[in-house]
Structure formats: C-alpha cells, structure tokens
Amino acid sequence: MRILVVCGAGASSTFVAQRVRHAASEVGLAYSAFAGTEHSLPIDLDSADVVLVGPHLAHAIPRIERDAATRGTTVVLLPSDIFNDLDGTRTLALVREALEREASTAPPTEPTD
C-alpha cells in the first residue's frame, strides 16, 4: 500500500507520512508513505494507492478526487487536528477506514478460471 500525503509545501506532509509509516510498521502492515505537494500531485498520483490531503487543501478536494478517480486512488481529506496525531495511529485508522469503505462499495469481481 502506497500512501501519498499532500500539503501545500511538503513540510507538514513529511511528518504525517513518517508517522503513518511508523504506525503501520508497528502493526505489521507493509505500507509505504511519502510526502508530496499540491504542485507535485499530478505526477505523484501515479505512485499512490491512497492520497491523504491536508485540511488546508479542502478547496482542492473536487479536483484531487477527479484526478485520483482516473487512477483508482482513494482520497481522504485529513481533519484539521491531524497534526496532533503524534504516533500516526489515528491517521492510519483513517486510511484503513477509507480502504474498507472503498472495498465495500466496489462492484464484485467475477471469478477467474
């Protein structure tokens, strides 16, 4: 699972990415997380399964969701207090909840022989 954390300039997203990567590792999940910016998003989306969007970019969510949908990437708008999640567990829970929602709404796949 590749998680892209996006903020305006990349500084805040670096901390969130490090924390969620650590939290995933603590529970045995092989998740990678990397930081990006709003400007690098068009390129970074190609490498992400989930995009966590900083709360200050809420205005850009419709565009990000549209661009992510063409790639099958899940988008999560982070709450305004996410930077208080010092151990990354809350952020990881948001990722897992979004993936579960996505899986429950996905059309069933046909079995292959």
Taking only the tens place, the pLDDT of each residue in 47-79 is 999 999 999 999 999 999 999 999 999 999 999
Q: How far apart are CA 38 and CA 30, in angstroms?
A: 25
**Average pLDDT of 106-112?**
62
Position 85 pLDDT exceeds 70: yes
Give the pLDDT of residue 8: 73
Position 18 pLDDT exceeds 60: yes
Compute how many other C-beta atoms are within 10 angstroms of the C-beta atom of residue 49: 17
Give the pLDDT of residue 98: 93
Residues of 62-78 as b/e, b for ≥16 C-beta within 10 angstroms?
Answer: eebeebbeeeebbbbbb
Q: Which of 113 and 46 is assigned the larger pLDDT?
A: 46
Q: pTM (2 decimals)?
A: 0.88
Position 113 pLDDT exceeds 60: no
Q: What is the mean pLDDT of the chain?
A: 90
Give the pLDDT of residue 12: 83
| Superfamily for domain range 2-102 | Response regulator (3.40.50.2300)
Give the pLDDT of residue 110: 63
